[in-house]
Amino acid sequence: MINMIFLGPPGAGKGTQSAYIIRDYGLVQISTGDLLRQAVKDQTPLGKEAKVYMDAGQLVPDSLIIGLMKDRLASPDCAKGVIFDGFPRTIAQAEALDAMLKNDLKTEITQIISLNVADELLVERAVGRRSCPKDGKVYHIKYNPPKVGGVCDLCGTTLAHRDDDREDTIKNRLKVYHETTSLLKGYYGNSGKFTEVDGEGNPDDVYVKIKRILG
């Protein structure tokens, strides 16, 4: 069974590549960013607390995120194997994940894939990202535009621009990534399960490299 972690800065393509993996391997994607955006939309207490951090491009506190993940992992669909997208982002989250998988699910992480993309490209990718509020499909105004400007190919819904995809917020998110989340490369580096992948080619080419790792 595959339980993989996607590490990588904002806009590296973690969500885009997860869609290919779900199609081919039938895994469940758990994106803490998506779970948080849903909580914000539903105006839950967690959503209200998280929104302040998300709007500033800061990490939501570990205690909230770890609780959120524990609840999500209790769902039976996780037995199919999981893509962890955007989690863990701190050493404390990584340690908590190891413990949850071992103690609650009697399993472990099988691969950690780190997508590498230069900062200038990441800013362009995030500023140009648009997504469908209904089905979550992700587009880019230049690299992956919808067939008809501004609306989802699948359902015709008007595409949205994420609040935290403004250039100043993205720069904060990148700073947080370099100062905190990138330390996870050291945490996983000697595990024998860690691979860095160049994420700068077109999405299909990046996926070819990922498929080689997943087998």
Both tokens of 127, joined, read 């500023």
Interface pick for ligand AP5 out of 4, 7, 12, 132 (rule CB under 6 A): 12
Interface pick for ligand AP5 out of 51, 132, 173, 197 (rule CB under 6 A): 173
Q: Determine the Cα–Cα distance for residues 215 and 65; give it in Å rounded to an integer.
A: 30
Q: Determine the Cα–Cα distance for residues 74 and 97; give it in Å rounded to an integer.
A: 13
Active-site hit among 70, 80, 137, 162: 162
- The answer to whether 197 and 213 have CB atoms below 8 angstroms apart is yes
Q: Does 146 bind ligand AP5 (CB under 6 A)?
A: no
Q: What is the DSSP string of 69-106?
A: HHHHHTSGGGGG-EEEES---SHHHHHHHHHHHHHHSS
Q: Does 59 bind ligand AP5 (CB under 6 A)?
A: yes
Active-site hit among 51, 125, 130, 173: 173
Q: What is the DSSP string of 181-209?
A: GGGHHHHHHTSS-EEEEE--S-HHHHHHH
Q: Does 60 bind ligand AP5 (CB under 6 A)?
A: yes
The stretch near ligand AP5 (CB under 6 A) out of 22-30, 39-47, 137-145, 148-156 is: 137-145
72 as an active site residue: the answer is no
Interface pick for ligand AP5 out of 3, 7, 27, 32 (rule CB under 6 A): 32
Interface pick for ligand AP5 out of 4, 21, 27, 36 (rule CB under 6 A): 36
Positions annotated as catalytic residues are: 14, 89, 129, 162, 173
